[in-house]
Structure 1
Amino acid sequence: MKQSALSLSQRLGWGLLGVTLIIGLWTLLTATGFVPRQFLPSPLEVASRFLTLLTSPFAGATLPVHLASSFQRYAYGVVLAAAVGIPLGLLMGWFRLLDDIVTPIFDGLRFIAPIAWVPFAALWFGTGVGGPVMIIFAGAFPPCLINAYRGARFVEPRLIEAARMLGTGHMRMIVEILLPAAVPSIIAGLRVSAGLGWQSLVGAELIVAAAGVGFMMVQAQGSVQTATVMSGMIAIGVVGMAIDMALRQGEGWLRRRRGLEN
């Protein structure tokens, strides 16, 4: 029997309960001394440090400035991944020869974890913008290509047949038939890419960056400032959740507009 969907207030209530339980357990562990405060500060200590980092510089900048630096790299990497992956996926979905040429190379590269590109990024670009952007691209590119490709491959055959009967050329077929039909799949791929890109960014900044949230966390770890490390983790989680929520809303709006859900 299918369960009825929970209302927004019910979902918020259950979510708040989960957060409360986690904070309660965290507080208990620190209050009892089960975990030394040096390695697990209390929630109040972390909250206080988080607020301090909003206005007081650490590792050369405040937390918002570090976040802005991280987000800039992230935007470059994700936009580049979408700009390359979506057109290439559509072209592969239409031109079988291109699919046969690219697929073996792509299948070999996409299983390499983004963090594995760090040594090359460090050698090629140092600690500038290029290294992290390359690693973000490596994480965000595969979902963009795969979803665009799948969207193009599963277009209704009758639409393609009708366009062919009207003498539609290859590029018009891709732009006016394949692209509109593949948009829902592309949006879903962008949501996955956004999450993987954000995770890849943090991994990159831990090693090949001179600014950003990951860099801040490394500096804090070196001086055993656990509250600062955890503040960075919280900032990463909040920003990542905001990105996913924005893309989820955009995906839902698009699906409703296209009549794919009620």
Structure 2
Amino acid sequence: MQKQISFTRSVVLGLLGLGSFIGLWHGLAVSGMISNVFLPSPVEVYDRFTTLLDRRFAGATLQGHLFASFQRFAYGFLLAALIGIPLGLLMGWYQLLDEIVSPLFDALRFVAPIAWVPFAALWFGTGIGGPIMIIFAGAFPPCVINAYRGAKFVDPRLIEAANMLGTPSHRVIREVLLPSSVPSIISGLRVSAGLGWQSLVGAELIVASAGVGYMMVQGQANISTTTVMAGMVAIGLVGLALDSALRLVERIIQRRRGLEN
């Protein structure tokens, strides 16, 4: 009962905050203080959003641009997870590997993903490789860091028990280390997905010929603020959906492990 009340309260407060934001936005838009060219009303943005669902702009409908963006995101995000999670676990397990990789990793992870854009443009042009590289640069560090933390905080008694039974190292990693690290890994994937999606949009503003970011650039070139803001709304909705899906996975795992409050 307490959980239901807490959830209802969160929903109400969230809707109140959203309603207040939209109300303030609408008030500024219709007040005349800011030109309609630069700040269209929420109704105008909504109308443009629905129009873009049926009518092509910059070569595709909004769904087409979203599909192109999500395809790039999926490649970059999966690549980051497939490399970053095993690397983080192994760094947490093998001290020698940690000492070898950490200095380079710690230096590179502070380079903003957008800083890789010039290299991506030079190496890949406007092809799919450039955005994937930039998404990877944003999504990779959280995968490594959270997998590493998960490996470091595994209950030592589980490892000692496995070692006493003579379990080979590769089986300890697969059957003890990995399952115990899953909650931390999922938390890292949430952060990774958010940074990867943000990095994608930044990349598409410069090194893409399709996608939501590209659509927004074309909207700017045509002085269509409604198109730019409709793209921003689409980006936010997709990001929210990604985070909600990973939150659901996280809750399911926590419930099965008896960790949910």
TM-score range, shorter chain: over 0.9
Aligned-partner Cα distance in 2 for 1:19–1:95:
47
Say which SS state the counterpart of residue 54 (structure 2) adopts: coil
Shift of 1:18: 1.4
* Residue 12 (structure 1) aligns with: 11
Aligned-partner Cα distance in 1 for 2:113–2:5:
37
Say which SS state the counterpart of residue 249 (structure 2) adopts: helix
* Residue 42 (structure 1) aligns with: 41
Shift of 1:175: 0.8
Aligned-partner Cα distance in 1 for 2:30–2:159:
66
Pair 1:181-2:180 in alignment:
yes
* Residue 120 (structure 1) aligns with: 119
Shift of 1:226: 0.1
Residues 28-107 of structure 1: pairs in structure 2 closer than 5 A: 28-107=27-106
* Residue 193 (structure 1) aligns with: 192
Bigger drift between 160-169 and 105-114 goes to 160-169
Shift of 1:243: 0.6
Shift of 1:11: 2.1
Say which SS state the counterpart of residue 57 (structure 1) adopts: coil
Q: Deviations over 1:103-149 (max 9, x none)?
A: 00000000000000000111111111100000000000001001111
Classify 1:61/1:34 alpha carbon distance in 2 versus 1 (closer, same or farther; 3 Å): same
TM normalised by structure 1 equals 0.96
Residues 224-235 of structure 1: pairs in structure 2 closer than 5 A: 224-235=223-234
Q: Deviations over 1:76-119 (max 9, x none)?
A: 01100000000011111111111000000000000000000000
AA partner of residue 37 (structure 1): N
* Residue 240 (structure 1) aligns with: 239
Aligned-partner Cα distance in 2 for 1:157–1:9:
40
Aligned-partner Cα distance in 2 for 1:51–1:92:
48
Shift of 1:6: 4.6
Moved over 6 A (4+): none
* Residue 165 (structure 1) aligns with: 164
* Residue 23 (structure 1) aligns with: 22
Aligned-partner Cα distance in 2 for 1:16–1:155:
39
AA partner of residue 107 (structure 2): G
Q: Deviations over 1:56-80 (max 9, x none)?
A: 0000000000000000000001100
Aligned-partner Cα distance in 1 for 2:228–2:241:
20
Structure 1 gaps of 5+ residues are none
Q: Deviations over 1:28-63 (max 9, x none)?
A: 111111110000011111110000000100000000
AA partner of residue 133 (structure 1): I
* Residue 148 (structure 2) aligns with: 149
AA partner of residue 238 (structure 1): L
Q: CA RMSD in A?
A: 1.3
Aligned-partner Cα distance in 2 for 1:160–1:20:
51
Aligned-partner Cα distance in 2 for 1:209–1:26:
31
Aligned-partner Cα distance in 2 for 1:223–1:63:
16
Classify 1:4/1:69 alpha carbon distance in 2 versus 1 (closer, same or farther; 3 Å): closer
Aligned-partner Cα distance in 2 for 1:82–1:117:
19
Say which SS state the counterpart of residue 197 (structure 2) adopts: helix
Say which SS state the counterpart of residue 54 (structure 1) adopts: helix
AA partner of residue 137 (structure 2): A
Bigger drift between 167-176 and 31-40 goes to 167-176
Aligned-partner Cα distance in 2 for 1:5–1:89:
37
Say which SS state the counterpart of residue 58 (structure 1) adopts: coil
AA partner of residue 124 (structure 1): W
Residues 207-222 of structure 1: pairs in structure 2 closer than 5 A: 207-222=206-221
